[in-house]
Structure formats: structure tokens, C-alpha cells
Structure 1
Amino acid sequence: METETWPLKYMFKFITPNNSGKVEEIKALLPDHGEFSFKHTSSLKHVAITCIALMDSADQIIEITEKIDQIEGVLIL
């Protein structure tokens, strides 16, 4: 990450069960200014969440990812 020029656009991508408000919980931890997209599986049991946002540092990305990693059932891609 030291070779990157900051700020840069970063793509966060997660898969989560489609229940218990998990999508909203993840969305609340991601940058408000991000461009969000959501894709449900055909069975509607899971949701893929993508957020592309301008990030200021690698530390900022790691902090967000670590918080989301603590949510049960979330897969980080």
C-alpha cells in the first residue's frame, strides 16, 4: 500500500445472510459517500454488498474491514 497514491477509490465487497438487519449493520460501518450496490442470491438467503469509496489511507480501510469482520456470518471478499 505504500506504493499507492492516496486518496484512492477502494472497493469493499462482502457477502452476508439476508436477515436480522445485517445489511444495514454493514452499510452503517461503510463510508457514507460510497457508491453502493446490492445483489441477492436467487434464493434470497444471502446478499452481496459492494461499496466503492474514496479512501484516505490503508489504515482507514483496515479499520472498517476489521469492524465488519466481527459481524457473525459475514464473508469478506
Structure 2
Amino acid sequence: MSLKEYEKLKELLAQNKKWPLLYMFKFIVPNADGKVQRVVDLLPKHGKVSYKHTKNLKYVSVTCTASMKSPEAIIEVTNNISSINGVMSL
């Protein structure tokens, strides 16, 4: 994600006046080099994680639903995971 996209996400999240917020993180992750586990390790520990593989097993969709305390907390998780090469944030 670009800085502009992060700012837009932060702005949208800040419009919500009620925190904590149940938030769904979703990433498409290459199923290689331990990247799926790296993504899971960076997700909130208290979140519920689910997986869905593509038919050819080349990619894994990783979804995590977790209660988040602030827009900054969501941005931090998203930013950390998006820095992994090949990971797409949805």
C-alpha cells in the first residue's frame, strides 16, 4: 500500500467514533518460503484466523477478525504485513 492509501484508510477508520472495533484483515499470500506463517505471526494474537487456498495451492487467502483499539493499531498491522514481498492486502 502506498502512503496515500494508508492515509485514506486511516481517515475512513477515524470516522468511526466507537472503539474498539471488530476489524477484518484479509491478505493474499504466496504459499512459499514460510510467508503464510510470517503473516499469521504478525496478525493480532487474539484474532480468529481462517485460510483458503487457490486451486493450484500457489496462494493462500488469510483472513483474521480481531477487536482493534484504534485506527493506528490497524494501520500498524497492515503496514507490517504488507512489507512482506508478494503479499497483497485487500
Q: Please give the range of the TM-score, normalised by the shorter of the 2 chains.
A: over 0.9
Query: Is 2:10 the partner of 1:2?
Result: no
Deviation at 1:69, TM superposition (A): 1.0
Query: Is 2:76 the partner of 1:63?
Result: yes
**Counterpart AA for 2:22:** K
Of Structure 1 and Structure 2, the greater strand share is in 1
Of Structure 1 and Structure 2, the greater helix share is in 2
Which SS does the other structure have where 2:62 is aligned?
strand
TM-score (ref. length: structure 1): 0.96
- State how many pairs are aligned: 77
Deviation at 1:3, TM superposition (A): 3.1
Distance of 1:47 and 1:32 partners within structure 2: 19
Distance of 2:20 and 2:55 partners within structure 1: 36
Q: Identity of aligned pairs, percent?
A: 52
Structure 1 runs of 4+ aligned residues shifted over 4 Å read none
Query: Is 2:40 the partner of 1:31?
Result: no
- Structure 2 unaligned segments of length 5 or more: list them: 1-12
Deviation at 1:37, TM superposition (A): 0.5
Which SS does the other structure have where 1:44 is aligned?
coil
- Structure 1 unaligned segments of length 5 or more: list them: none
Equivalent in the alignment of 2:27: 14
Instruction: Please give the root-mean-square deviation of Cα atoms over the aligned residues, in Å.
Output: 0.7
Distance of 2:14 and 2:86 partners within structure 1: 31
**Counterpart AA for 1:41:** T
